[in-house]
Amino acid sequence: MNYKSFNESLLSWYYEVRRDLPWRQTNDPYKIWLSEVMLQQTQVKTVIPYYNRFIDKYPTLDSIADESSENLLKEWEGLGYYNRIRNFHEAVKEVKSSYHSKVPDNLNEFLKLKGVGPYIGGAVQSIAFNHRVAAVDGNVLRVMTRLTEDDRDISKQKTITSIKEHIETFMPIFAGDFNQAMMELGATVCTPRIPKCVTCPVQSYCESFKNNTVNQYPFKKKSKAKKEYYYNIYLILNDNNEVYLYKETDDLLQGMYKFPKYDIDTSIENIEDKLNLTLSSLTEPIGEEKHVFTHKVWYMNIYVVYTKDKNDHFVPLSNVRDLPMSVAMQKVYKYIDETI
């Protein structure tokens, strides 16, 4: 393959059609980095409002480094993969204290930071500093495996590393534009289903198009079935118009607030002991909710119970919205708005 003319075809297409995304309006490495953290496993359309809110509220690296982790988690609420913001917060604090608030423009230094892996490393170093490093995401894997009829399993790290090294043998000096062009091609033309090969700017270089095997790529081994979990969720109200909440520290959704959540075979007496509360007798659940995660499913029965007790776990109903809560718990909380 003539990579020189491939690069020219790809880049001239990109300069003509590229979308005007918010993070393309800046050269600030901090902002580009933040956008890449938000974009992992998350669609552009979902990220845009979060990115704009963050930049509005935290315009500089120092401003986000100085914010509390709980406020950041609240801003991240609904975006998912909450460890991303925890790691990013740690990383920017490290940049502030050890790098004079300047994002390292050295790949190996940058990769030492929390939450910075091969993709974000390549993306930020190429886009912000124009270093010649590949940024290999799901789009790029799809484009490359189709271009070269690569049968390897793209869920394996070895395959990703190999493709990254291959790209770095031919990518041009316009590294940031090249990486974004590859991703843009995957996102808008070389799409997972019904790719637009007819209008593809690099169709003439594509082995799978030539052999009519595009739909065989990329190959990925099938994911395991999701495990199912059955819980009772308790909305515990006292006579101060307060509801019981706790901050998760061990399980899924760390740092987020949850209503008491127990396996369905846990007795109400057992729960009273664990929470040190005296609860009203249990009636029928007021609702059921299903929440699907990447790798598990929660089935939740929602109960309302009352108590005369008060302690630090009780939050006024008017303040619950100020705390970070996952979408699963928001589904539960809506029963308070609707039925109480």
Partner DNA sequence: CATTCGTGGTA
Partner DNA sequence: TTACCAAGAAT
CB of 311 to DNA, least distance (A): 26
Phi, psi at 215, each rounded to 5°: -70, -5
Position 44 contacts DNA (CB under 7 A): yes
Position 107 contacts DNA (CB under 7 A): no
Peptide bond into 316 cis (omega under 30): no
Q: Candidates 11, 197, 252, 282: give the one binding DNA (CB under 7 A).
A: 252
Position 177 contacts DNA (CB under 7 A): no
Catalytic machinery residues:
36
Looking at beta carbons only, is 268 or 297 nearer to DNA? 297
The DSSP string of 22-49 is GGGS---HHHHHHHHHHHTTS-HHHHHH
Stretch that binds DNA, among 201-209, 273-281, 289-297, 309-317 (CB under 7 A): 289-297
What residues are paired with 315 via a beta bridge?
243
User: For residue 326, how many C-alpha atoms fall within 13 Å in the half-sphere facing its CB?
Assistant: 22
Looking at beta carbons only, is 43 or 283 nearer to DNA? 43
Position 189 contacts DNA (CB under 7 A): no
Q: Candidates 155, 203, 238, 266: give the one binding DNA (CB under 7 A).
A: 155
Q: Candidates 266, 293, 301, 315: give the one binding DNA (CB under 7 A).
A: 293
**How many residues line the site for DNA (CB under 7 A)?**
61
The DSSP string of 261-300 is EEETT--HHHHHHHHT--BPPP---SEEEEEE-SSEEEEE
Looking at beta carbons only, is 49 or 267 nearer to DNA? 49
Three-state secondary structure string covering 148-183: HCCCCECCCHHHHHHHHHHHHHHCCCCHHHHHHHHH
Residues 6+ apart with CB under 8 A from 69: 86, 89, 255
Position 187 contacts DNA (CB under 7 A): yes
Position 183 contacts DNA (CB under 7 A): yes
- What is the C-alpha separation between 90 and 115, in angstroms, rounded? 9
H/E stretch holding 246 reads strand 246-247
Looking at beta carbons only, is 28 or 309 nearer to DNA? 28
Write each residue from 212 to 231 as x if it is in contact with DNA (CB under 7 A), else as -, in one continuous string: --------x-xxxx------
Binding-site ranges for DNA (CB under 7 A): 21, 23-24, 35-36, 39-46, 78-83, 87, 114-121, 123, 137-139, 142, 155-158, 180, 183-184, 186-187, 192-193, 220, 222-225, 251-253, 291-296, 326-328
